[in-house]
Structure 1
Amino acid sequence: MRAIVQRVTQAQVSVGGAVIGEVGPGLMILVCAMQGDTEAESKKLAAKIAKLRIFADEAGKMNRSVLDVHGAALVVSQFTLSADTRSGNRPGFSSAAAPDTGRRLYEHFAAQLQAQGVPVGTGRFAAEMQVSLINDGPVTIPLDTDTWAKS
């Protein structure tokens, strides 16, 4: 699975002009299930993000997690994270998981993050969404479970 994690002071997602998810200080997470991904990758990604130390401690060093700072996470599905731009000018998205699998893993990821103790707001899978956020820092971290050692 792939994710873009952004440290935010606030974030919200709307569908058709109505806000369907929002958070104050915490994380904005764009997430994409890739072909071959399973609940194991989803669970591992959620655990990693919950413990990712990207918030400042008393000394100003990035040494605290979203759990440590009692932050929340807004999780939005983003199949375009699967973009293949190696040839031509039009990205290909064929490496993204099929929609039914993508939805299942997106929902599983959000539930696993919540199970870690992080309050979670979500977007709507496969909807045309408008996302707004205030990136804090800015801090933006890309994560890809394919690049992690298989264990």
Structure 2
Amino acid sequence: MDADRLIAWDAELRGAHARLRAALAATREALDTGADVPAAASDLALFCIGFCTALDGHHRAEDSSLFPALRAEHPELGGMIDKLMQDHSLLAHLLGALRLAVETGEDADSLARHLDGIGAIMESHFRFEEREILEPLRALVLDAEVPAVLGPL
């Protein structure tokens, strides 16, 4: 195993969060540039699908790979990890509602409300996660590829 991999999970998580924040910003921009125009609506659908897939994939990977490894090395973090996983479930529900809103052609104001809700929960979740688990991640021993642990970002 590459020794650098042993100390890189905190930086990898921050990088994943930065890319997801950028994906949300690009989705908002697609909405702001005219989701009422058919071509822009198509662009918005692509951004939403991409963003939803990326965020959901990130959380599924954390739930299946990162969090079990973190819990094994730091059982005292179990309650905090449970809360993070609850956030993942809530965000999955919100992402499903956004996908449905895009697919059914809801108006720009409705889509903006969906994005606002997701953005608020996502940002709160990311900040909590970064505050609470970056330190333990610095020493996490996990022999896995980044996409398996943090999603295909």
TM-score normalised by L of structure 2: 0.28
Greater RCO, 1 or 2 (C-alpha within 8 Å, sep 6+): 2
Between Structure 1 and Structure 2, the one with more helix by share is 2
Structure showing greater Rg: 2
Q: TM-score, normalised by structure 1?
A: 0.28
Structure number with the higher strand fraction is 1
